[in-house]
Amino acid sequence: MDTITPRHTRVFVDGGWLLLAAAAALTRAPSVSREDIRLDPPRMVAALAGKAQDLTGRPVSRIHWYDGARQDKDPTPEHRALAATVGVDLTLGALRRHDGVWQQKRVDGLIQRDMTHLARTGQTLDFVLVSGDEDLAVAAEEVRALGGTVHALGVTETGRWAMSPYFASSCNDVHLLTSGDLAGSLWVRGARLTSLANSGIARVLAAS
């Protein structure tokens, strides 16, 4: 008798986008420095996996986390912790300094490459894409053209980190993480408490 492999979900995370969007939602500040954000990888991964399974009704087989990294430095403690988290594949692009600001490079292309490969080979048909970046709209469109389903998962409907309308329209449907989804998974150094923080989205570290 042939064995039927159950359909499953894979989660693709634009890590830099997620952390900055969640921190901005917490602090209500116009900008938050990445250096001030602290992540609890197991809690965040568990939150994303639980949300993804709720959205698709199918088990999550893997979480693919993408982020930028400086090529002249060893991996950060955050990246090492993510790489060691069960169920996570970490892929690092580059960080390059432009006008005094570190910018993430190649991450969107890596996400697009891996999602379309899995859809083309039939290894995965249900995708949850955690981002709101317009540059990932093409990835969502390609996966859908290959027969896959892409659920967009963002953080906020307003402000700088709101989901791009083009990105949203390129996915099958759009959902938002709530404060309850992210409780205890994120810290922002020196942040002022807001109503969102009081709902449990994160703990706040005192400024050093």
- The model's pTM is 0.85
Confidence of residue 178 (pLDDT cuts 50, 70, 90): confident
Dihedral (CA of 23, 169, 127, 122) sign:
negative
Instruction: For residue range 142-163, list pLDDT tens digits in order.
Output: 999 999 999 999 998 777 778 9
List of residues 6+ apart from 41 with CB closer than 8 A = 78, 81, 82, 85, 88
Task: Give the pLDDT confidence score for residue 74 in this predicted structure.
Answer: 74
Residue 200 pLDDT greater than 70, yes or no:
no
